[in-house]
Amino acid sequence: LVLLADLKVDCGRDSVTLRWGAAQSQMDTSLLRLGGCYPSSISAGEAMFQVEFSDCNFSRLVTGDTLMYMNELIYMSGPKAQLKSFSHPVVCAYERPADWAPRMFDPVFHTYGEGDLVFHMELMKDDFSGPHLSREYPLGSFIHISAAVEQMGHQPLLLLLEECVATTTPELQSEGPVHPIITNKGCLVASKNSKFEPRQKTSEIRLSLQAFKFAVGKEVYIHCNLLAWDPSGLDTSKKACHYVKGHGWALLDDPYHSTLCGCCDSSCEPWKTSGIASGKHGSTQSAVLIGPLVITDNSPA
């Protein structure tokens, strides 16, 4: 039994705050999703979402005098859990302003809109609260990376890291060592301890990468291909997968469909795009993480 009294919704002007307090002790609130978004914060028996209507796949309905934003709160339990999966509608309704008009977006498949997409990547502090100032990382520590796309006039897009490699040069060259981090199938392969962090917004992706034994003591650069994609267009070649101990490969944006990650140990449909390109569902851009960074090893020889 799920009590609707556990759900409190506070509708703001352009955003919503949703609080869930679970009376059921067997409920894992980290498994709650609002549309495509993870909770902003979780604690014992509680989860909170603080999101804008432009995120999390909210739908909009406009009638003669009402403007409504609609989504679903979803709980995805495991196959043997006592509390079964459920969903509950979340609606914020407003009086329609007399001069209201819908915001106009460029279709994502029009190449002229590419100039409206601005991609960023940077090293972050442990809590992702700001840029990481040091460029040295002890072997085994975590390198926190944030990538984002500013969407401007585009339809809301989902940002993915299609491919990432580490090299010892700021340019990708055929000569020299290369260490794979994310394969061109969207699978995080650098380390079974590395992971994607829960999304705060669809236009940003966060990665906690365990510092690996590659070019220790030398300058290292991380190169990534970023992809801004249709949130509903995930498949075996357009995804973000990481390995969860005890569970196997998991799909960041929809764990229920982690079967899309089943090819991470074999071969997925190859990703053939390079440089900057556009397609029906999105746009890609190559990027170099501002470097260099240095991985240090202070263990006894």
Q: Using one digit for the tens of pLDDT, what is the confidence trace for 210-267?
A: 998 888 999 999 999 898 888 777 888 889 999 988 888 999 988 878 888 988 988 8
pLDDT per residue as tens digits for the range 65-84 = 888 999 999 887 766 666 77
Q: What is the pLDDT of residue 293?
A: 92
pLDDT above 70 coverage of the chain, percent: 79
Q: What is the pLDDT of residues 132-161, one digit of tens each?
A: 989 999 999 999 999 998 866 666 788 999
Q: What percent of the chain has pLDDT over 90?
A: 29
Which value, to the nearest 10 degrees, does the dihedral of the CA atoms of residues 153, 156, 157, 158 take?
150
Pairing assessment for the beta strands 136-138 and 293-296 based on DSSP bridges: parallel
Q: Does residue 276 carry a pLDDT above 60? A: no
Residue 182 pLDDT more than 90?
yes
CA distances from 177 to 167, 169, 173 (A): 6, 9, 9
Determine if the peptide bond prior to 292 is cis (ω within 30°).
yes
